[in-house]
């Protein structure tokens, strides 16, 4: 069975029954996970619980959904894209998230067909990236729980490699796990962007959630670097692709928002323009402190403290107050999380090819001649 590399994924010239079985199984598993991720995308940013209620419900009429309503992909089509109870239309995003997750899972399986640890941990990591993408796109936030869980998955991948003495997961200098190095570098790169952006604009240029996401991505990315290569080999292309993706996605969202604004009533638009900008109480000291917080996992400690019973009640009150908060991002603001996610996935699939192309172009090997 002949194999080659196509867009970073092993290409199998002759499909076997076993490969086809696992592709179908992975796709079905992916769309099922995507169905649950739709619940995560809806409930988490609205302060809801993933366990209460334990059943799924229509976001319009809040009627409990039955098994017929929850078949991934098919229920959406069979019911005519409408709720079976209130007859109100259901967003195409529900179908899209399920399909996207299924295709993403299949792509990752094909990317690591003979590497079960990378495949399993990358599937877990990707399942967390999907809700982060859509939540940040709509609400300009990345939930702490998802960020921390992604970091745990990334470090867990490296720990598994260390425990099983897997090649490419040896401790650096005999004491440092590679995932920790990747996390630190990810924080420093995008933390520097956040700090420099504040110095330039005197306002938040990048959300702290993006820096925390970069921490998890850095820890995960270092585990998929080819064995024997520099641990940070894929980081330059990751940063480049993330910035390009952020500009494209953010620019598209900004253009769409402006087109909608141009169709709004002139008076309402004028009122929105006359609103005073929100005050930014940040400072360079606070910016550096928050970056340090990301480095020594202070955010994880704070999150654990907030989950304590005593702190949970006060957090619920804050969540209730936040629901009445009319905060809106600036008209020119764009979420960078989706760009980070697209850039990371593009690096996983194509980063090694782009890096090899660049190195071959920038540092061509001189042909040794035999001489006369």
What is the mean predicted confidence (pLDDT) over 108-129? 95
Q: Given pLDDT bands bounded at 50, 70 and 90, which one contains residue 167?
A: very high
Domain range annotation of the chain: 1-114, 115-266+279-367
pLDDT of residue 54: 83
pLDDT for 370 beyond 60: no
* pLDDT tier, 96 (very low <50, low <70, confident <90, very high otherwise): very high
At 113, list the tokens.
Answer: 């067909």
Which residues, 6+ apart, have CB-to-CB distance to 172 below 8 Å? 178, 181, 231
- Residue 101's pLDDT band (cuts 50, 70, 90): very high
Task: Tell me the residue length of the chain.
Answer: 372
| H or E element in which residue 9 lies | strand 9-12
Mean pLDDT of 94-123: 95
**pTM of this prediction exceeds 0.85:** yes
Q: Bigger pLDDT: 328 or 115?
A: 115
- Say whether pLDDT at 217 is over 70: yes
Which residue is it, tokens 């323009």? 273
pLDDT digits (tens, 9 = 90+) for 219-256: 999 999 999 999 999 999 999 999 999 989 887 877 77
Q: What is the pLDDT of residues 172-212, one digit of tens each?
A: 999 999 999 999 999 999 999 999 988 887 777 788 999 99
Q: For residue 332, give the 3-state DSSP assignment.
A: coil
The answer on pLDDT for 277 being more than 50 is no
- 14 pLDDT exceeds 70? no
Q: What is the pLDDT of residue 9?
A: 57
Beta-bridged to residue 82, according to DSSP, are 89
pLDDT band of residue 52 (cuts 50, 70, 90) is confident
In this prediction, residue 270 has a pLDDT band, given cuts at 50, 70 and 90, of very low
Higher per-residue pLDDT: 365 or 157: 157
With cut-offs at 50, 70 and 90, classify the pLDDT of residue 314.
low
Question: What are the CA-CA distances from residue 13 to residues 1, 6, 16, 162 (Å)?
Answer: 7, 11, 10, 34
Angle, CA 357 vertex, CA 352 and CA 360 arms, to 5°: 120
Share of the chain above pLDDT 90, in %: 56
Taking the C-alpha atoms of residue 42 and residue 45, their distance in angstroms, rounded to an integer, is 7
Please choose, from the candidates 132, 138, 116, the residue with its C-alpha nearest in 3D space to the C-alpha of residue 213.
132
Q: Within 10 A of 1 (CB to CB), how many other CB atoms are there? A: 8
DSSP letter at 190 equals H
Burial tier of 141 (Cβ tally within 10 Å: 0-12, 13-18, 19+): middle
């Amino acid at each position: 069975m002949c194999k080659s590399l196509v867009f970073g994924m092993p290409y199998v010239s002759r499909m076997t029954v076993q490969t086809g079985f696992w592709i179908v199984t992975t796709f079905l598993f992916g769309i099922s996970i995507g169905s649950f991720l739709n619940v995560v995308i809806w409930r988490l940013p609205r302060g809801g619980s993933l366990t209460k209620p334990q059943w799924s419900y229509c976001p319009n009429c809040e009627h409990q959904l039955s098994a017929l309503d929850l078949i991934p992909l098919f229920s959406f089509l069979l019911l005519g894209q409408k709720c079976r109870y209130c007859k109100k239309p259901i967003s195409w995003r529900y179908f899209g998230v399920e399909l996207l997750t299924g295709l993403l899972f299949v792509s990752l399986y094909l990317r690591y067909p003979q590497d079960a640890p990378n495949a399993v941990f990358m599937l877990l990591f990707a399942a967390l990236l999907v809700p982060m993408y859509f939540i940040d796109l709509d609400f300009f936030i990345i939930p702490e729980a998802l960020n921390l869980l992604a970091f745990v998955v990334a470090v867990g991948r490296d720990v598994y490699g260390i425990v099983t003495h897997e090649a490419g997961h040896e401790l650096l200098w005999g004491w440092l796990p590679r995932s920790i190095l990747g996390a630190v570098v990810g924080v420093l790169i995008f933390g520097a962007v956040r700090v420099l952006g504040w110095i330039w604009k005197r306002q938040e240029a990048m959300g702290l959630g993006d820096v925390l996401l970069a921490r998890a991505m850095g820890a995960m990315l270092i585990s998929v670097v080819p064995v024997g290569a520099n641990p940070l080999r894929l980081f330059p292309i990751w940063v480049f692709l993330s910035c390009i993706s952020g500009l494209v996605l953010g620019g598209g969202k900004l253009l769409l928002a402006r087109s909608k604004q141009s169709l709004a009533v002139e008076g309402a638009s004028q009122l929105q323009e006359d609103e005073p900008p929100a005050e930014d109480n940040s400072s360079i000291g606070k910016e550096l402190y928050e970056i340090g917080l990301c480095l020594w996992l202070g955010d994880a400690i704070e999150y654990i403290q907030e989950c304590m019973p005593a702190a949970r009640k006060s957090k619920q009150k804050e969540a209730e107050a936040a629901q009445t908060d009319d905060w809106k991002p600036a008209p020119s603001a764009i979420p960078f999380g989706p760009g980070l996610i697209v850039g990371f996935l593009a690096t996983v699939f194509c980063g090694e090819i782009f890096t090899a192309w660049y190195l071959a172009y920038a540092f061509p090997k001189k042909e040794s001649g035999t001489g006369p």
